[in-house]
Structure formats: C-alpha cells, structure tokens
C-alpha cells in the first residue's frame, strides 16, 4: 500500500471521485447536466495547465459553433456560483464562440480537494503539456509523500514514464518553454536531459535550426557524450606512465641530476661537460 496523506482523504479516493464523474452515462443521465451561465464559472485556482494554444482554441471554438459542445464541462457549486473542475479548454472556446451558457455536470465533490482534483483530472485525461505534467507528478509525490512507484500504481502509468517526465524539470527555462509551446517534442527533450547547459543550448538550437528528428538528435547527443569520454579514459590510461616518469625523476635527483617532466616525457638537465660525462658513466 502507498503512503497516504495524514489529513484528509487519500489520493486513490480523490482519483475515484474524478473517475466517477466521467463514468456517468450522459445520455441516460441527462438530469445531471445543466445549462449554466459562463460568467458564473470561475477557473480552478489550482489548475496546473498554464499554456493554451490560441490556434487550437479557435479551432475548437469553430467546432463548437458548428456541432455544439459534445462533452459537458464539470464544475462544483460554491456560493451560488461555480468553480471549474474539468474542461477549461472547452470553457475558453465556448466564450470565444460567443455563447453565454454552457452544458455542465455539477459534481458532488468537496471543494477542499480542488488542487488534487485539478492535477488528477488533467493527468488522467492527458490534457497537459510535458512540463505541466512533470510539475503535476512532482506536486502529487511531494503532497502525498509517496514514491514514484506508488504514484505509478495509483495513476496507472509506468514508473519509467513518470521518472522520465519528472526529469524534464531539470532542463533550462528556455528549453522548457519550447517544450511547453510544442516547438520541441518530448522525444527530443528526453534525449538532451543531463547535458551541460552549454551543450543543451547548442543541441536545442541545432534541433530547431536543422529540424532534426528524434533519431538524428540521439545520434548527435551520443557523439557529444563520446567526445568527452576518450579524454578522461586517456588520462586514466596515462596514470601508470606518469607515475613511472615521477619515479625516474626521483632516481635522477638521488644521483645528482635535475630533470623536468613534460606531458609525455622527461627531460634531463645536463648544463655542463662534467654532468654529461657523469651521465654517460652512469649509463655504461
């Protein structure tokens, strides 16, 4: 069993609330749907989604004008008004379309769970961009003191997927912005996680400038990583050689000869004939 929040209801129970709301058979339960004024609906203050494509909203708006709103939004009632739980894109597009009312389901959910519900609703419906999703995962893990494995079991996503998504938060702010607005794909971003800030910037610029595929990016990143490995490997390989040069220097010093160690060599200082003769005597 995963750890649950010390106070209040557990994460699994909150997820069940969201799933129950969506599990309603809307055709058979038309009494659950009401037509409410859009001006009476406030956004969920804990909505994790921060980026909404203007182009996509306009397209959805045109669709709503033509076909109507096929899926109601979900709200909770509060002080004779409503707080949005699910469907912010639909609400925004409905306003753009010029409609004054919108079809909505009034959910029977405690308002104290608004933050968690907003996170879970978006995660379950895959309604977030990769950065927003990463933030949601991180917040749920921290809020409920659970492991990535525990979150994986609750939201039915693989632990690897959760780990890779959270790792995106280590990218630079500029890269995360490109990822949020769709200019950079999650496939590209996953590959460049872990690079130095300079390499990350160079790779991102190359991806955008040359329109690299994920596969091309992977090859390029491997080249960058491999170029840094030989240098360290060669240094380690040279350690015994350098140690031998130091031993020779010590021995030369003991018999009266000065020497200098270079990168891959040793130089014996013979600055007069006497030292030259002595050196040859030692060699013979």
DSSP state of 113: G
In 30-129, the DSSP E strands lie at 33-37, 41-42, 73-78, 81-86, 101-106
Residue appearing with tokens 């596969």: 215
Kindly report the backbone phi and psi dihedral angles of residue 248, in degrees, each rounded to the nearest multiple of 5, phi listed first.
Answer: -65, -40
* CB atoms near residue 84 (< 10 Å): 21
Could you give the C-alpha distances from 124 to 15, 121, 258, in angstroms and in order?
Answer: 9, 5, 74
Angle at 163 between CA 87 and CA 136, to 5 degrees: 30
Assess whether 88 carries a catalytic annotation: yes
With b for 16 or more beta-carbon neighbours within 10 A and e for fewer, the 187-220 pattern comes to: ebbbbbeebeeebbeebbeebeeeebeeeebbeb
Distance CA 190, CA 205 (A): 16
Distance CA 64, CA 115 (A): 28
Helix/strand/coil for 269? strand
* Active-site residue, from 19, 35, 77, 88: 88
Length of the chain, in residues: 284
Using the Cα atoms of residue 22, residue 45, residue 83 and residue 8 in order, give the sign of their dihedral.
Answer: positive
Residues in CB range of 256: below 8 A, 6 or more apart: 278
- Residues labelled as active-site residues: 88
């Amino acid at each position: 069993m995963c750890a649950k929040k010390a106070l209040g209801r557990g994460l699994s129970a909150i997820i069940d609330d969201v799933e129950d709301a969506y599990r309603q058979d809307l055709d058979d339960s038309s009494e659950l749907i009401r037509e409410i004024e859009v001006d009476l609906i406030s956004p969920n203050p804990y909505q994790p989604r921060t980026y909404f494509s203007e182009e996509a909203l306009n397209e959805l708006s045109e669709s709503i004008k033509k076909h109507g709103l096929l899926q109601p939004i979900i709200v909770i009632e509060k002080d004779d008004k409503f707080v949005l739980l699910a469907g912010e894109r639909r609400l925004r597009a409905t306003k753009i379309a010029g409609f004054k009312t919108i079809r909505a389901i009034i959910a029977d959910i405690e308002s104290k769970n608004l933050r968690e519900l907003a996170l879970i609703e978006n995660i379950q419906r895959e309604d977030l961009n990769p950065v927003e999703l990463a933030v949601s995962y991180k917040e749920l893990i921290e809020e409920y003191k659970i492991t990535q494995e525990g979150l994986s079991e609750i939201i039915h996503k693989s632990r690897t997927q959760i780990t890779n998504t959270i790792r995106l938060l280590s990218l630079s702010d500029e890269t995360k912005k490109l990822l949020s607005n769709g200019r950079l794909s999650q496939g590209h971003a996953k590959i460049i996680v872990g690079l130095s800030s300079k390499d990350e910037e160079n790779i991102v610029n190359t991806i955008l400038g040359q329109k690299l595929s994920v596969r091309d990016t992977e090859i390029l990143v491997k080249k960058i990583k491999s170029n840094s490995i030989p240098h360290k490997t060669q240094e380690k390989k040279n350690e015994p050689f350098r140690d031998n040069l130091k031993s020779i220097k010590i021995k030369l010093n003991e018999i009266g000869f000065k020497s200098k160690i270079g990168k891959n060599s040793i130089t014996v200082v013979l600055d007069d004939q006497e030292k030259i003769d002595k050196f040859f005597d030692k060699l013979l």
